[in-house]
Each structure stands twice: as C-alpha cells, then as structure tokens.
Amino acid sequence: MVNIKDFLEELKILTGIGGNNLLGIFFIFIYYKYMNEYIFIIFMIFLLIFMFKYKIIKFLNIANTDYCNDIYVFKTPKKYLTNKNNMNVLIVSGTHGNENTGIVGLLKFIDFIKNKNLKIPFKSLTIIPMINKCGYEYNSRFTVHNINCDDLNRCYPSDLKTKSNNIINDKIINFVKRSDFVLDFHDAWGFYKKNMGSIGATISISNHNEVQNLSNKIVENLNNFITKDYQKFSILNKNQNVIQGTLSNYCSLLDKKYILIETTGQYNVVKLDERIEHLNIILYSFIDFYNN
Ligand SMILES: [Zn+2]
C-alpha cells in the first residue's frame, strides 16, 4: 500500500504545488472515494504529464530546433511607407506562445497593409508576429525546443556588454538596435483594475514625452470603446515594471522609445475578436498620431 502522505509530500517538493491546489484536492478525493491505489497512481501520472508536458516535449526533442528558431519577419515594402516620420518602427508579439492577441492580430494587420494599400508614416516598419513560434503551436508560454532559454522575455541581456544566450533573443536584439520605436504585445491573465498582481489592460511606457503623449491618445481611444469600468486601460510608468531579462528592460538600456501592451488575456478571459479590436485601436492610434 502506498503511503499517501509521503507520496503527497514528495509530489509537493517535486512540483512546488501545495496542498491547496484544486487538482490535488480532486485527486485526493478520488483516492479516498475509491480507495484504489492503482487508480490514484494513474491519475497522478496524468497530473505529472499535464504539469511537465512542455518539459517532456523539450526533453524528447519533439519540436524541431531549426524550424522553431526560424521566426517570420515582415518588412513593409517601400511602396506603403510615406516617410512622413523619420522613424524605424518595430512591432513584436508572441514572445509567450500562449498569448495570441498579437500573433493573430498582427498577421491580420499585415494582410490589411497589403490588401488595402495602407499608408504608413514611417521610414520603415518591421513586424515579427510570432517570436516563440513553436510555443504558439504548442500553446505554451515557454519555448518547447532545445534552446538555452525557457522564457524568452527573461533572456535578454541585463547590460549592454553581455550577449544573450540563445539565437532567438539575438535575432530580436538585432532588429531592436536598428529601431527607434518598439511596440511589444502580450496578453495578461487578469485586469489591472480588478485582479491583484495582474497588469492586464495596461500599457507600460518608456520615459519619453512623445511616448507619454501618444499613450494618452491610445488609452483615450481604447477606453472610449471599452464599456466595463474595470476593463479600461491604464498607463504604467516603466520604472514600476523593471524585470531583468525583459525586452522592456533591454529597450530602456538602449533608451529606445518603447510601449509594452498587455491586453487581457490568457484563457480567453476577453474573447479573441474583442482583443483584436483593442490591438487594432492601438495600431491605428499609433499610425494616426504620426500622421498628424
Ligand atoms: Zn507575455
């Protein structure tokens, strides 16, 4: 007979998940209800697979490294650029593969530029919609192939002398260095105004007057569109949110104009169509700001 207490204690250490975990309680319930250690063990095996599935994919090397490192870069052809503003703009998303607003929205935006002959008031516009391509395909925040980095938004160098430890961050860094302005799309799990610890429905901005003015405009347009009060967007000053290894932190080292957009969010808390509306409002406010 398996000693359930020892087993749970072991599992707790192994996974870092405490006894108040809902799934854990569910399995303990199953165990006591049926008193069958084999059923219990099978459920535990499924639980472990569920928790470690991306590590298992990585360990078994299922995701192809060359394929996963090959990110898609869209450089807006010259015929769409009006050169009204002398800026090189970079828009990125999909650093975390389970955050899909930017990925789906920017791919649609690229089609829109091409089909509607959209005029863009910059010297150049580069879009990288899917930084963590395989993470997106496996719906994982983390990278799922063999690369020296699990969370790509923690692997940018924390000073300008050091290099990153992997090929994807290096590629992004090359684009960042050539850009004057970076827009970085993410999805959060909750709402800043409602859920403690979440920065969903916020934009975090670099310390430039121009970015502040632009952000006021973006948030005004967003909040005119959003009806529920707790879902309305807020502006966060970047030094409230400095995490080493993030693109945000790296851009501030280079003194780039930068906006981190955190739509809500993960697990479809706000439906994808609505989140893409938010993304479109942000993009058109951005273009409109520099068109005038
Ligand atoms: Zn993210």
What is the CATH number for 114? 3.40.630.10
Could you tell me if 174 and 95 lie in one domain?
yes
Q: Ligand 1 centroid to 275 CA: how many Å? A: 14
Whether 221 contacts 285, CB under 8 Å: yes
Structural domain contains residue 60: no
pLDDT tens-digit readout, 104-153: 999 999 999 999 989 999 999 999 999 999 999 999 999 999 999 999 99
Distance CA 182, CA 280 (A): 16
Q: Ligand 1 centroid to 99 CA: how many Å? A: 6
Q: Ligand 1 centroid to 98 CA: how many Å? A: 8
Could you tell me if 167 and 268 lie in one domain?
yes
Residue 54 predicted with pLDDT over 70: yes
Residue 18 CB coordination number (10 Å) = 8
Residue 22 predicted with pLDDT over 70: no
> Which value, in Å, is the radius of gyration of the alpha carbons in the chain?
22
Structural domain contains residue 10: yes
Could you tell me if 150 and 20 lie in one domain?
no
Q: Ligand 1 centroid to 188 CA: how many Å? A: 7
Could you tell me if 12 and 80 lie in one domain?
no
Could you tell me if 150 and 249 lie in one domain?
yes
Could you tell me if 208 and 180 lie in one domain?
yes
Structural domain contains residue 61: no
pTM (2 d.p.): 0.86
Could you tell me if 37 and 79 lie in one domain?
no
Q: Ligand 1 centroid to 276 CA: how many Å? A: 16
Structural domain contains residue 76: yes
Could you tell me if 46 and 96 lie in one domain?
no
Structural domain contains residue 160: yes
Q: Ligand 1 centroid to 35 CA: how many Å? A: 42
Looking at residue 163, what DSSP letter applies? P
Q: Domain span at residue 16?
A: 4-53
32 burial (CB, 10 Å; 0-12 / 13-18 / 19+) is exposed
Could you tell me if 20 and 120 lie in one domain?
no
Q: Ligand 1 centroid to 46 CA: how many Å? A: 27
Taking ligand 1, which is a single-atom ion, which protein residues have CB atoms under 5 Å away? 96, 99, 186
Q: Ligand 1 centroid to 56 CA: how many Å? A: 22
Q: Ligand 1 centroid to 243 CA: how many Å? A: 12
Q: Ligand 1 centroid to 153 CA: how many Å? A: 7
Could you tell me if 103 and 244 lie in one domain?
yes
Q: Ligand 1 centroid to 96 CA: how many Å? A: 5
Please name which of 200, 199, 196 lies closest in space to residue 269, comparing C-alpha atoms: 200
Q: Ligand 1 centroid to 286 CA: how many Å? A: 21
pLDDT tens-digit readout, 237-253: 866 557 899 999 999 99
Could you tell me if 109 and 138 lie in one domain?
yes
How high is the mean pLDDT of the chain?
A: 88
Per the structure, the count of domains in the chain is 2
Q: Ligand 1 centroid to 246 CA: how many Å? A: 10
Residue 42 CB coordination number (10 Å) = 12
Q: What is the pLDDT of residue 126?
A: 98
Whether the CA torsion 92, 94, 96, 99 is positive or negative: it is: positive
Could you tell me if 77 and 151 lie in one domain?
yes
